[in-house]
């Protein structure tokens, strides 16, 4: 499932709040805020995609995510690795390490994460 940039922005607001009414979501945007009808359209599309749900309270709906931020991000990274790096995590890691502006300390942190994961996965 792929969210548009506008849907991703709205989803970020929803993830940060966990549950929110339309007014809460509109308030989360910086000025100039989108029209309520725009947010309503985005919410409808996201409901159709199955990434959010809602609970009704009278005439109001409280929206909540059905997918975690981590699960959404994981799907996209795996899609990126599959489609742009020939399903090679090593090529992705090499690209990430050499083509981003990571400091030496950030690279050391990544190295430690990989080493910890290797220890965890070894029998």
Sorted by where each begins, the domain ranges of the chain are 5-65, 85-121
Q: Give every strand in the sheet of 52-57, ordered side by side.
A: 20-21, 60-65, 52-57
* pLDDT band of 45, cuts 50, 70, 90: very high
118 pLDDT exceeds 80? yes
Q: What is the band of 70 on the pLDDT scale with cuts at 50, 70, 90?
A: very high
**In terms of C-beta density within 10 A (0-12 exposed, 13-18 middle, 19 or more buried), how is residue 52 classed?**
buried
- Identify whether the C-beta of residue 51 lies closer than 8 Å to the C-beta of residue 66: yes
Question: What pTM was computed for the model?
Answer: 0.77
At the second CATH level, the architecture of 5-65 is: Orthogonal Bundle (1.10)
How far apart CA 113 and CA 66 sit, in angstroms, is: 28
Question: What average pLDDT does the segment 38-55 reach?
Answer: 97
């Amino acid at each position: 499932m792929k969210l548009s940039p506008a849907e991703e922005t709205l989803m970020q607001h929803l993830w940060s709040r966990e549950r929110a009414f339309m007014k809460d979501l509109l308030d989360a945007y910086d000025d100039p805020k989108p029209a309520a009808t725009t947010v309503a359209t985005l919410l409808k599309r996201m409901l159709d995609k199955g990434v959010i749900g809602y609970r009704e309270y009278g005439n109001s709906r409280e929206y909540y995510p059905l997918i975690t931020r981590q699960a959404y991000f994981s799907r996209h990274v795996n899609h990126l690795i599959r489609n742009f790096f020939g399903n090679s995590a090593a090529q992705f890691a090499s690209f990430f390490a050499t083509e981003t502006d990571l400091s030496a300390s950030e690279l050391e942190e990544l190295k430690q994460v990989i080493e910890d994961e290797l220890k965890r996965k070894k029998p």
